[in-house]
Structure 1
Amino acid sequence: MRAPVSLERKVRFLSRPQSYAGASETVVARETHMSWVFLAGPRVYKLKKPVRFPYLDFSTLDRRADACRAEDRLNRRLAPDVYLGVVPLVEGASGLAIGGAGRVVDWLVVMRRLDDGGFLQSALSAHAVQPSQLDRLAAVLASFYAHASPLSVRGSADALRMSWRKALSRNRRVLQDLRFHLPRGMVARVDGIQTRFLNRRFGVILARARAGRIVDAHGDLRPEHIWLDGRVSIIDRLEFDPALRALDPLDEIAFLQLECTRLGAAWAGERIGRHLRSALHGRHVGGLPLFYRSYRAMLRARLAIMHLCDTRPRTPEKWPRQARAYLRLALFDALKLDRLENAALPAP
């Protein structure tokens, strides 16, 4: 049996301009938590790492092949002219090659390269977003959600309530872990407000679930995945766990609003939300969007700080700072939610 090709060797090969047809002048390699991404001329090649986490498993060649094909297929809906297919990385007599004859050692998702400046994150940071661009984005999202497959909610009302309680508990437990030195009082305050809302208003969440408002959504709707230069394209739809795409669109848009706020552009998220409110049946839901936004901020704080649990965390100084930033946003929305809820309570 031939020895497996190491990830390091694959990355070295894909980082060389001569590895690509047409010999790109330069290759920009970017590492993420789950992938290596190589920007070579007009194309982007994504190599999934052979990793296994509680929420995904890319540890085998077959699993990575399935994930690459799923990513390509799922993203054709919101970025049809960006995703160009899946190609094998092979080892032949002369070494590694992209496509062609040889032993398949991995798989690559191939994409059309998009200019970094056209992404919503870059445009917001540069204060270069036009309201008309946000309106076009809202129209694309409205159409996407209108045609997304509604998902039936499995189990009883008690099961749905318990799943939410577990989600809040996971956030609280990790964020109050003494190893991470995060403000435990802030975590407790946010968690208390979220728990009270869940206890009082669970009926709103349940009613939306029973009305078919849970759909097969994007799953990771962040400004860095939204391209606005020309035709709106939304990339990186989450492929590795369909359950993580099973969302109320109000929840997904709340996440996008959170990320806009984090970039100092709350106005952009609010504009998108206003345009989508009717399309998402978002009227008469009280503080639900604030609950979703505060919950998403706690979740992002948890995911950030858990990077420190990796065997060799990249940029370890980054994650506590990011977690604290999300905690502040979680508290901001939680306090707004608390005021809204208290105002709605009957006078004693």
Structure 2
Amino acid sequence: MADPRIIAVPQETREACVSPDAKIAFLRRPDAYPDRPQQVETIETRLSWVFLTERYAYKLKKPMRLPYVDFTSLTARRSNCLTEMRLNRRLAPDVYLGVVGLLARPDGSFRLGGRPGPRDLIADWLVWMVRLPQERRLDERIRAGAPAPADIERLGLVLTVFFQGGLAEPMTSADYQRRFEADIGRNLDVTVPRVTGPLAERARAAAATQVAFLSEHGQLLRARAAEGRIIEGHGDLRPEHVFLDGMPRIIDCLEFSRDLRLLDPVDELAYLALECERLGARRVGDAILDLYSAWSGDAADRRLIAFYRSFRASLRARLAAERLDEAAGDRRGDWLARIDAYLRLATVRPIGQG
């Protein structure tokens, strides 16, 4: 395979028209990879297919269009791969190795990476990563008992340094609050029509509490923008994206929307704390928030943190509700259970009390 620090296939290489099924069938074969793995595992997400060998992971974007992303063109998928690599190297510099091309040969066969021949065509692009040990993932460590305090301290330090190194993004206080007002309404519009009575009522109750916070304590939110606290963060800081393997590595940032990455570090950490609480480890998330507060000097009001957690829980319920449109059988029950869990967390503690 070519040097991982460079793009393996020139952009000007001609495109091949190849079905996703043909690409997937090839990438599932061990002999597709230069390191000749014994086996290849395939994981499908909403936006990608990920192919795992013993040493590496390769991510292939789906040629799909959603309201927030358009990967229908090869150019767009290549651009997204490059963006994903650049952004994720901020918190996992030794994990994201490069972007490699899937080449289509004149005889109809494929080749992954390397220099194209004169008649080769580019069939697609993949993000090439080091495979990290799953047992070191924060969610797996929580399920196994609890992460070691030293691991949590290192994670808190990495995140504090990352957030403090982010440049303040200009945003007016009014615009910052309007973002939340719009999303609270969107959460309701998406979730309520897709769930049963009790879940719908819980979604409405959470939204009402969040709206009341903005009305009574909105100055706490607006002050974050006025103080220059909004930076370009990770955007999807969940335990399954955190690896506690020596120096913590954090992967899979929200690469397709810069607007969604512009946020308050306390909001992002409240999101991580929410997800830890959902897994039964509230103390882990709270500890990371406390470490950030102590090391950065950014002691956010507890009422604001409670609002951020409640809002994030409603947002996660909404994203789960969207998956009901394409779910069937047992998967539908799984998504409904997840919606229920998030909406319970959205209303589990009062907002607006110090």
TM-score by length of 1: 0.91
CA-CA distance at 1:190 after TM superposition: 1.2
Name the stretch that deviates more: 96-105 or 244-253.
96-105
CA root-mean-square deviation:
2.0
**Deviation sequence 1:184-224 (CA, Å, 0-9, x none):** 22122111111110111111211110111000000000111
Q: Say if 2:192 is the partner of 1:180.
A: no
Cα deviation for residue 237 of structure 1 reads 1.4
The one-character-per-residue Cα deviations of 1:68-127 (angstroms, maximum 9, x if unpaired) are 000001111110110100000110134111023221111000001111001111111111
CA distance in 2, matches of 1:256, 1:307: 21
Which residue of structure 2 aligns with residue 147 of structure 1?
165
CA contact (8 A) 1:307 1:313 kept: no
Residue by residue over 1:45-74, the C-alpha shift from the partner in whole angstroms, topping out at 9 and shown as x without a partner, is 000111111111111100000000000011
- Residue in 2 aligned with 1:98? 112
- Aligned partners of 1:262 and 1:284: how far apart in 2? 22
Report what 2:87 is aligned to.
74
Q: In structure 1, what is the equivalent of residue 220 of structure 2? A: 204
User: 51, 63, 73: which is aligned to 1:38?
Assistant: 51
Query: Which stretch of the first structure deviates more once superposed, 167-176 or 303-312?
Result: 303-312
Cα displacement (A) at 1:320: 1.2
Amino acid at match of 1:99: G
**2:15 and 2:123 in contact (8 A); partners too:** no
Structure 2: gaps spanning 5 or more residues: 1-13
**One-letter code of the match for 1:337?**
I
Q: How many residues are paired up?
A: 335
Which residue matches 1:136?
154
In structure 2, what is the Cα distance between the partners aligned to 1:84 and 1:2? Answer: 23
Deviation at 1:160, TM superposition (A): 3.4
Letter in 2 for 1:173: D
* Alignment equivalent of 2:320, drawn from 279, 290, 304: 304
Give the match for residue 5 of structure 2: none
Kindly state the Cα deviation for residue 22 of structure 1 after the two structures are TM-superposed.
2.7
Q: Distance in 1 between matches of 2:154 and 2:16?
A: 51
Query: Would you say 1:248 and 2:261 are equivalent positions?
Result: no
In the alignment, is residue 56 of structure 1 matched against residue 51 of structure 2?
Answer: no
1:249 touches 1:280 (CA, 8 Å); kept in 2?
Answer: no
Cα deviation per residue 1:284-310 (whole Å; 9 max; x = unaligned)? 524000000000000000000101224
Which residue is equivalent to 2:8?
A: none
Match for 1:20 among 11, 33, 42? 33
1:81, 1:99 → 2: CA distance? 19
Percent identity over the alignment is 40
Q: Which moved more, 1:89-98 or 1:2-11?
A: 2-11
- Contact persistence 2:174–2:222 (CA under 8 A): no
Residue range with higher mean Cα deviation, 274-283 or 300-309: 274-283
